[in-house]
Structure 1
Amino acid sequence: MDKLGTVAVVGLLILSPWTALQAMTPVGPGFTPDRPASLFNCQVPLIKLLASSNQAMILAEKVPADKLEITIEPRDHGVQAIQLFDSRQQASPDTPGAGHLGWVMYDPHSGQLLDNSADEQHPRQLTFSPQYGKQYQQCLQKEQRCAAILDQMKLGAIIADSPKYVVRGKGRAYFHVAPTEQCVNESQFVIPNDKVQVVGFAAFEPVEGEKNDYLLVGYGNASGWINVDRLAPLDEICQDAQANAEAMMAKTASPAAKYLVKSKKLYFYDSPDPLCQDEGGKFIVSGDNVAAKQSQAYQQFLFVSYIHPKTGDKTEGWLKAEGLVAR
Structure 2
Amino acid sequence: MKINIAVGGLLALASLPGMAVPPETDAEHPDNERCAWVLDTLVSTSSLPLLVTSGIDPSSVRADIDRREGQRLIAQVSFPVTPDPETPGAGQLGWVQYDPDSGVLDDITTDPKKPEALDFDRRYVQLYAGCLEQKPMYSVIGKGRLTFYQNPELTNPVPGVFILPDEPVRWLVAKESAARVRYQSRDGRIYLGWVPSSRLKVIDFNRQK
Normalised to the residue count of structure 2, the TM-score between the two structures is 0.48
Normalised to the residue count of structure 1, the TM-score between the two structures is 0.32
Larger radius of gyration: 1
